[in-house]
Amino acid sequence: MNKSPDLLILGGGTGGYVAAIKAAQQGMSVILVEKDKLGGTCLHKGCIPTKALLRSAEIYDSVKKAEEFGIENDQESIVNFQKIQERKQAIVDQLHKGVQGLIAKNKITLLEGTGTVMGPSIFSPVSGAVIVTLHDGEEEILTPKKLLIATGSRPKTLPSLPLDEEYILSSDGMLEIEELPEKMVIVGGGVIGSEWGSLLNSLGVEVTIIEYLDRLLPAETKNVSKVFRKEIEAKGIKVKTNSEVKSAEVNKEKQEVELLYNDSEKLTVDKVMVAVGREPNIDSIGLMNTSIKWDEKGIHVNDFYQTAEDHIYAIGDCIDTLQLAHVATKEGEIAVKHMAEEYVEPLNYTNVPRATYSSPEVASVGYIKENLPEDKKVSVGKFPFAGNGKALIHGDSAGFVEVLRDEETDDLLGVSIIGPHATELIAELSTSLYMDASPMEIGDAIHAHPSLSEATMEAALDTYKLAIHK
């Protein structure tokens, strides 16, 4: 093993392993250190397993509505949660093998263990040497030319909700449950809480979401949040906004949790899920041995992900940017290109697509009405899925597409979608922003009929008051 590689990466999650592959493609020698499994949170505890569960919930919803489509079946459909979990795990395992194969194919050295960054020492005159403690207890001291920190994040909780992963669970613990609870409270109405609330409700769990702020999905536009709440409440999910959890008392004999929220309101449920965000994994990797700056939100970096030690970079959930897998991936690519002294532009975080894989789905890219710069004069185009043939055919016509256009420059500023396949539809709009297309160019482009994408075409044209079917 080369103990002085061109690049050493701490963390083999989405950002870390993609950066490793990109660096290997550049001809760099790369060592990747991962303490658990390649793929990290996204593959094993986040994006992939939750979306697999959501797909099962979606199928069950379709089965329950089959009679609306003229499909009659006298037999009752039953949720087999064990099989749902087995299918989820099979998908994760297949993708995990794929990532392992990519690491081997690109001749990247994988070390299974943890790394601690060292300060200046006899091994290196500058910070950045790393002590790698392998799972068998052996230690290796490596002196890379460049170091990339991609150690990810972990679920946060609240003082009133100490996690035990049996009755009070994080998103990690939720993925390991063997049986569905009858009643459940989810604390936090952001993306994670909303997705879990949606899938549990679809599978027959009585769900209550408690959110401290005045609305669910606070990163989305208020109109989207309003429609989202209306739709999930119509499905039976109870929503408590402007609410704060005061305490949670676990009664193991009765196998229940009594939750006190606000001043005197109580709920008794089987389990509580805490979905109040994530915190960076940076407290045990040796940052204090360096000149790197950090705080509770993560490591401080510049536009190219360099820390105060310019040969040490950091990406993904361990820095204070959007905690999304596709963001970590792009950050890793930019960091590697910068290390290789290639020209690369900083990432425009406003134009990163954002997606919530609930029912209904929500997606957005660019600005929303609530965060538009004050100097922008904007024309808003909107088109409801109730006016879209494909949405009606699918029996899923709630929601809308909203497009923002700069009236002075004719630039596309942002798009919000709530409705069927929003997380797929957003790709066209994300590409349009990247290619600097105007809403008129989106509207002029031919869209297949019937298709859900016609709703985005109509919304784009509506920014000029030229929508055909509105």
Backbone angles phi, psi at 301, to 5 degrees: -135, 165
What residues pair up with 413 in beta bridges, in sequence order? none
Q: Taking a C-beta distance cutoff of 8 angstroms, is the pair 239, 187 a contact?
A: no
CA-to-CA distance for 212 and 210, rounded, in angstroms?
7
DSSP letters for 78-136 = ---HHHHHHHHHHHHHHHHHHHHHHHHHTT-EEEEEEEEE--S-SS-SSBTBEEEEETT
Is there a catalytic annotation at residue 449? yes
Q: Taking a C-beta distance cutoff of 8 angstroms, is the pair 207, 83 a contact?
A: no
Q: Taking a C-beta distance cutoff of 8 angstroms, is the pair 183, 244 a contact?
A: no
Backbone angles phi, psi at 351, to 5 degrees: -95, 20
Q: Taking a C-beta distance cutoff of 8 angstroms, is the pair 432, 410 a contact?
A: no
Q: Taking a C-beta distance cutoff of 8 angstroms, is the pair 256, 268 a contact?
A: yes
The closest alpha carbon to 323, from 284, 283, 274, 278, belongs to: 278
Residue of 44, 96, 300, 449 with catalytic role: 449
390 φ/ψ sector (left φ>0, alpha ψ -120 to 50, else beta): alpha
The conformation of residue 158, written as its DSSP 8-state character, comes to B
Q: Taking a C-beta distance cutoff of 8 angstroms, is the pair 389, 327 a contact?
A: no
Residue 101 one-letter amino acid: G
109-117, strands of its sheet edge to edge: 139-142, 130-134, 109-117, 30-34, 7-10, 146-149, 312-314
CA-to-CA distance for 311 and 306, rounded, in angstroms?
7
Produce one character per residue of 269-286: b if its CB has 16 or more CB atoms within 10 Å, e if not: bbbbbbbbebbbbbeebb
Catalytic residues: 449
